[in-house]
Structure 1
Amino acid sequence: MKVNAKIWLIMAVVWCIIIAIVTRNPFFTGDSTEQLLTNPFFDSVILNIVLRKTGHVTAFGILAILFWLGLRGKKYRYFLAWLFATIYGAIDEYHQSFVPGRDGVFTDVLYNSAGALLAIVCIFIIIKKYGKSELKNTSEG
């Protein structure tokens, strides 16, 4: 089944909304998640950092993939998908600076951007290795 590129862009916008909702939630602050991860086996501070930064990389990697799928047929598709995800990552961090208990941190923008770049590079490598026919059903519409 072919999925129209506009549907993927709508999904990217929905994903942006989900990210915004999650980042407004006080449960996802560093202190809250660190308390949740407290245990006798691992250093909760390190575990918290690893999980939170992995969350940034994953969330914005997914966003970049959704943008990439939505930009089918566009010139500079790979770059634009990374750029849009990175810009939204910066906007989200700026937004967090106004949320009580949250901070907008530039290093998190870098994690967001790195996650988007990692996803785009993986797509590029997969397409180069297996060819466009492997992704035809998901990226064309």
Structure 2
Amino acid sequence: MIKKIFKYWFPLFIWALLIYLFSARSTGVVTEIHWGDFIIKKTAHIIEYAVLTLLSYRAMKESGISKTNAALFSILFAVFYGATDEFHQAFTPGREPKARDVMFDTIGSVIAIYSVWNLLPKAPTKLRNLAEKFQLS
């Protein structure tokens, strides 16, 4: 039981902690918005919350939750975590909460589940085998 918790839930905890630590860093005041910077930051939101969702999905599925419920709860968890992370940024110097960032977090989460459910079954065998190795399928 402890081994299963460590194998499936610990990576999720570590990833969530990394998200928290990165968002707790102060940033300088930005006066101009550069499109390149905007695209990089929003892409990072999408990727980090896609990973959070996949880790959550895997942990829940391996804990005996049905695939459907694991997918739904993983998306809800990622959206909730993204919203609380934005709230936390209200208290971080140089940061401000943005509902738009929660939207990008949600997009990443939905893309992750969509990919596992709809794209992965059609993917090349090597990719499907890799997903099985990580217990995503």
Question: So what's the TM-score if we normalise by structure 2?
Answer: 0.79
The one-letter code of the counterpart of 1:138 is F
Aligned-residue CA RMSD (Å): 2.6
State the Cα distance separating 1:47 from its structure 2 match: 0.3
1:38 corresponds to: none
Q: Aligned partners of 2:29, 2:65: CA distance in 1, in Å?
A: 38
Contact preservation (8 Å) 1:5, 1:71: no
3-state SS of 2:38 partner: helix
Aligned positions of 1:56-95 closer than 5 A: 56-72=45-61, 73-75=64-66, 76-95=69-88
Please give the per-residue CA displacement for 1:66-106, whole angstroms capped at 9, x wherever unaligned: 00110113031111111111111111001001101100111
Q: Secondary structure at the match of 1:31?
A: coil
Match of 2:134, SS state, is helix
- How many residue pairs get matched? 126
Identity in percent: 23
Give, in whole Å, the separation in 2 of the partners of 1:116 and 1:30.
Answer: 29
Q: Counterpart in 2 of 1:40?
A: none
Distance, in Å, in 1 between the alignment partners of 2:5 and 2:132 is 12
CA contact (8 A) 1:64 1:85 kept: yes
Match of 2:118 in 1: 125
Call closer, same or farther: CA 1:15–1:57 in 2, change over 3 Å.
Answer: same
Q: Secondary structure at the match of 1:52?
A: helix
Query: Which stretch has the larger CA shift, 103-112 or 69-78?
Result: 69-78
5+ residue gaps, structure 1, are: 35-43
**Using CA pairs below 8 Å that are at least 6 residues apart, which structure has the higher relative contact order?**
1
